[in-house]
Chain A
């Protein structure tokens, strides 16, 4: 299940979606708005997405995770708009027969989502400053995230 929403994420519902009699393990990852980064205080975060593309990229992650691990269910939800302190911006829930697959897939899904989903975070600092977060990856060169068949790794191809 893939969803982008401007509403608070119902994590209990997400757990119910992935719980299944075939599953012996359920892993839920939540990304939440942190108050302090180093010593700087965040007031709130604001997220925006290229929605159609973000939905298709999340669907690709779901499909790739199911290809790489034996999963029973998988759910990915990202919140957009303002996410207040302590609230959930992203939730990933996976279920599998045994715990290794659920832990590994959950970790891979959040790591890969952060690299590839066209979603952006704006820090709204307590001191009044407002900044879009556009991390420098591999220096200042643009990179093309893509999957390789076989390994399922995201390759970072440096462009000219």
Chain B
């Protein structure tokens, strides 16, 4: 399945895109999404390894399943305030 992933801050600058499409096996989880992002976008790999993933605007754990149509976002370490 193909899913769209929002990218922010350095993740966006590293890839030049605010959103990327990634190919995932059906039934993939967040850990596989992070691995696929790193594999399909190598410049993103080091930051992706220490980023969280949000599924439908909620922080997700590595075992959270990803479905086609979910709103997905890579959340690099935050620095608001």
Which A residues form the contact surface with B (CB < 8 A)? 31, 47-50, 52-54, 56, 78, 89-90, 110, 113-122, 132-137, 140-146, 157, 159-160
Contact = CB atoms under 8 A, between A and B. Distances in A.
A43 B9 CA distance: 19
Contacts of A78: 80
A110 B34 CA distance: 29
A31 B81 contact: yes
Interface of B: 6, 8-10, 13, 31, 34, 47, 49-52, 54, 57-62, 73, 75-81
Interface SS of chain A: mixed
B80 A142 contact: no
A159 B31 contact: yes
B81 A113 contact: yes
B52 A114 contact: no
B80 A119 contact: yes
Contacts of B81: 31, 89-90, 110, 113-114, 117, 119, 121
A134 B59 contact: no
Contact of B50 (A49, A114, A121, A142): A142
B80 to A, nearest CB: 3
A136 B62 contact: no
A159 B80 contact: no
B54 A119 contact: no
B78 to A, nearest CB: 6
B9 A134 contact: yes
B6 A50 contact: yes
B74 to A, nearest CB: 10
CB-based closest 8 A-B pairs? A119-B80, A120-B9, A133-B79, A132-B10, A114-B81, A53-B57, A121-B79, A134-B77
B59 to A, nearest CB: 6
A142 B52 contact: yes
Given A118-B8, A119-B78, A120-B76, A134 B54 contact: no
Contact of A144 (B9, B49, B52, B77): B52
A71 to B, nearest CB: 20
B79 A120 contact: yes
B8 A50 contact: yes
A50 B76 CA distance: 11
Given A50-B6, A50-B8, A132-B10, A145 B50 contact: no
